[in-house]
Amino acid sequence: IGAGTGGATLPILTAFGGMNGKIPPRFLSYDITDIQPASSRSSKKRQIAWGDLVSYKKLDIENDPSEQEFEDEYYDVVVAANVLHATKNMRNTMANGRRLLKKGGIL
């Protein structure tokens, strides 16, 4: 959530493997989201080594994710590094983040 320039994304993807097909990936897909799609443009260049494993989507976590083409209970892990504190209503923000998680998922 709120990937922006991808400062947290690159180390996570590197740890998960799959870069340039050299190390088998330990994930099936990784969605990079931000409230402004233009924010992720600079991070796209850095994540190109993961090819089709990575996709980019617009998400405003302050609003219902299901109304933004996100499926409830879809993700095993949701990463939100240095972003949620900037929202207007933390209770609402956390509820929306949890909606994205499968049972037993980690936010």
Q: Output the pLDDT for position 7.
A: 83
Contact criterion met (CB below 8 Å) for 60 and 68: yes
Return the pLDDT at 37. Answer: 65
Contacts of 69 (CB under 8 A, 6+ apart): 57
3-state secondary structure of 55: strand
Q: Give pLDDT < 70 ranges for the chain.
A: 37-46
Q: What is the pLDDT of residue 51?
A: 87
In this predicted structure, what is the pLDDT of residue 106? Answer: 95
- All residues at 6 or more sequence positions from 38 whose CB lies less than 8 Å from its CB, including other chains: none
Report pLDDT for 43. 60
Provide the CB-side half-sphere exposure for 47 (13 A, CA). 27
Q: Identify the pLDDT of residue 36.
A: 81
Mean pLDDT of the chain: 88
